[in-house]
Chain A
Amino acid sequence: MSEHDDSARLSRRSMLKAAAAGAAVWPGLTAFPVWAADHPAIGTWPAGSAGDSVTIGATVPRTGPYALQGEDELKGLQLAIEHVNAGDPLIQAISPKTKKGVLGKTVKLAVADSEAKPNTAVQAQTNFITQDKIVLMFGATSSAVAVALNKLADREKVLYIVGISGSNDTTGKDCARYSFRQCFYGQTAAAAIGPVMLKAYGKGKKAAYLVPDYTYGHTVHQSMKDFLGKNGGWTEATAQVAPLGAPDYSSYLLNVANSGADVLVNINWGHDAVLSIQQAKQFGVLDKMKLVVPYQVPFLAREVGPDIMAGVYAATDYWWTLEDKFPLAKRFNAAFKAKYGYMPEWGANNAYMQVALWAAQVEAAGSFYPPDVIKAYESGATMKSTVGDVHFRGADHQLVRPVVIVQAKAKKDMKDPEDYWNVLDVLPGEPLMQAADAFGCKMGSPT
């Protein structure tokens, strides 16, 4: 494989030379197909993996309201790259063929602040593709960014591993051949948390919803409403749709308080979730109603505190106390805490797992050639993870993975300052998921 890489690199280099010499032709117009012996060049291949290192381009929010989650993702990513390059046993447990690096090449990281804006993320990744010839993109704390990068991945033929994105669309109607998602999503969250709510609160209840005004919020709202209505005869008392980053939730919460609901389902994300829950407490809403957070927000319990959170149900990708059940989780927690001084949240875990799973596919394919890597992803091979066995679904590139049901602990029950959630259940993912084509996923061609 490597000799093919070399020949391709040579021809590409001479082509660039010709362009740089100003040879009467516009540089961009000289897109002659460059043939390696077995594959035509595609995306950043083979240029990106021609040397003895490969680069991952990461765009996460580092400033603005989502900086907290963005920096957390980045930590998980950095730890994963460190482990891959060192051939850490944890990586080897997930990607058995890994020795040091990926296919022997050191992994480097290029980072840019996306400010949680799709356009900024696309712009930065585009530069990484042309300048750094990255072999892989990572990023997003919101589905808008994930969907934009999905499209970029398919267009540029560069693989993309999704960061935090809970929208059904990411592996649904906006799915992409070059994109893969590790975390679960709105529909699964509803299917996982719904039965827990019915069991805990009974049938025929009234629910109030706090819905952030974007696709993720609306889809989760719809999924929850449908599930609870169909399976438990629940009705909707009110749905308060609030803009992202609202500075105050008082008027929404008064409407909730006056709605006569039994349960408050809070779909808000990031600081919006923190603020709306704290204010719900101030307004006495949480004394009258039970709070449910369908999809746990990283750092939520730390920020809001156990006094308010105690008893709240949530579905999550990862919580560190899973280490009692999964040895890989224990290793991951130890390494993360040693490096960063606190127990990881699921955003960091997601980033770590994404890199580890990618390394496993590249090793399995034996090549960085993207269509081969995609084939490996789509093979559906079972892999180990920090939450048990997982595999990618070939049809929509969604990881089939367990969903963790947690309930927030009261202060007195916490065994450790970071022991915020009690793991109630680890549900197998497959039965929670819709059919792969139910959300309109249509994949493009790998080439």
Chain B
Amino acid sequence: MLNWANLVSQLFNGLATGALLALIASGLTIIYGTLGVLNLAHGAMFMLGGYAGWVVYQWTGSFALAVLGASAFLVIVGAILELVVIRRFYGRPGEDQILVTFGLGIVIVELVRRAFGSLSLTLPAPAWASGITSLGFMLYPTYRIALIGIVAAALLALYFVLYRTKLGLIVRAGIEDAGMVDILGVDVGKVFMVVFGIGAMAAGFAGAVNAPVVSLTPDGGDAILIETFVVVVIGGVGSFFGAVLGGLIAGEILSLTSMVDPAYSQFALFAAMTLVLVFRPQGLLGAAGRE
């Protein structure tokens, strides 16, 4: 028998989970679209963002500063990684890039394990968003509702950078045609470093704002990475709006399947991705012809 209250709850929850996935996925898709690098360290960066936020929170006691600090830290980490490692891989086959970022992911996770141990850490929600809110049809954690707004704001900011600034123009040109960027007479090296930094920041920001929802462990990024890939593929690799749409779809799939048989929610996600790849390989909003 269908429980309507539960259905509405799950629809809303799908939106909340999906928004976060969208944010993480947008970072991944910007990096892939511009640099052509599928960043397997993205989950580790998400996790690192949470830990960075936790550290700043221990110093300052301010949630806002924790999120800002984590974002700034991840920009730097991303830029350094691009400069030292990723840069050597642009001319090389795609699998090399996948492998090196895979290796970097292991290094980040194990470094965090050395530094913080395996005991999980908790970053509390800010006071203004703690507690539970009644939405009439259900109770929902206040912070998770706030999180939808925070993530939406972050996505808007990202949209602004991508579609209303010169940097964004270059990034989008790069997504359309990497050769174009050269013609535009831009210092490609610098742009790529900034783009990788922004992508890492999106992951780090997501990790920090998600920290009050989960508890932090060094392995926390692994499961989310796979889900993020699904999101990117469903939406269209390299497409910002695709990442947003894909995130929301994935969130709803996870939520709604759990009503039928929760064990099948991951399975449904992968099945959906396979269907999209077979029938609309470029993803729902991806440009055709891009590999």
Contacts and interface: CB of A to CB of B under 8 A. Distances in A.
Contacts of B143: 282
A248 B119 contact: no
Given A282-B143, A284-B139, A254 B215 contact: no
By DSSP majority rule, is chain B's interface helix, strand, loop, or mixed? helix
Contacts of A245: 219, 222-223
Interface residues of B, number: 43
Interface in A214-272: 240-243, 245-248, 250-252, 254-255, 257-258, 271
Contacts, number: 107
B176 interface: no
Given A247-B223, A282-B213, A257 B138 contact: yes
Interface stretch (B73-81, B235-243, B251-259): B251-259
Interface stretch (A60-68, A129-137, A413-421): A60-68
Contacts of B274: none
B213 A255 contact: no
Nearest to A278: B215
A250 B144 contact: yes
Contact of B119 (A213, A275, A282, A302): A302
B13 A278 contact: no
Interface string B217-231: 111101110010000
A255 B223 contact: no
Contact of A282 (B10, B13, B141, B261): B141
A248 B214 contact: yes
B103 interface: no
A251 B132 CA distance: 16
A260 B219 CA distance: 34
B17 A241 contact: no
A252 B10 CA distance: 9
B263 interface: yes
A303 interface: yes
B58 interface: no
Interface in A59-86: 63-65, 67-68, 71
A158 interface: no
Given A67-B118, A257-B138, A243 B266 contact: yes
Nearest to B261: A241
A305 B118 contact: no
A439 interface: no
A368 interface: no
A63 B110 contact: yes
A382 B147 CA distance: 58
- Count chain B CB atoms within 10 A of each CB in A251, A255, A274, A283 and give the residue with the most: A251
A251 B265 contact: yes
Contacts of A248: 17, 213-214, 254
A250 B139 contact: no
B15 to A, nearest CB: 11
B61 interface: no
A interface residue count range (under 10 / 10 to 19 / 20 to 34 / 35 or more): 35 or more
A410 B149 CA distance: 34
Interface stretch (B1-9, B167-175, B192-200): B1-9
A106 interface: no
B54 to A, nearest CB: 14
Contact of B219 (A64, A241, A302): A64
A251 B144 contact: no
A258 B138 contact: yes
A247 B220 contact: yes
A295 interface: no
B112 to A, nearest CB: 11
A257 B258 contact: no
B189 interface: no
Contacts of B138: 254, 257-258
A254 B144 contact: no
A305 B215 CA distance: 12
Contacts of B31: none
Given A243-B263, A251-B265, A271 B217 contact: yes
A143 B213 CA distance: 29
Nearest to A72: B118
B60 interface: no
- Count chain A CB atoms within 10 A of each CB in B215, B218, B222, B261 and give the residue with the most: B215
A299 interface: yes
- Count chain A CB atoms within 10 A of each CB in B5, B118, B119, B258 and give the residue with the most: B118
B262 A258 contact: no
Nearest to A239: B262
A282 B210 CA distance: 13
A279 interface: yes
Nearest to B137: A258
A303 B6 contact: no
Interface string B1-37: 0010110011001101100000000000000000000
A71 B254 CA distance: 33
A255 B17 contact: no
B258 A251 contact: yes
B119 A299 contact: yes
Given A245-B223, A255-B262, A275-B214, 17 more contacts: A64-B219, A68-B119, A241-B262, A242-B263, A245-B219, A251-B14, A251-B254, A251-B262, A254-B13, A255-B10, A257-B139, A258-B138, A271-B217, A275-B120, A278-B215, A282-B132, A283-B140
Interface of B: 3, 5-6, 9-10, 13-14, 16-17, 110, 113, 117-120, 122, 132, 138-141, 143-144, 213-215, 217-220, 222-224, 227, 254-255, 258-259, 261-263, 265-266
9 smallest A-B Cβ distances: which pairs? A68-B118, A251-B258, A258-B6, A282-B141, A247-B223, A241-B263, A284-B139, A67-B118, A251-B255
13 contacts: A67-B118, A68-B118, A68-B119, A71-B118, A245-B219, A252-B262, A255-B6, A257-B9, A271-B120, A271-B215, A282-B143, A283-B141, A284-B132
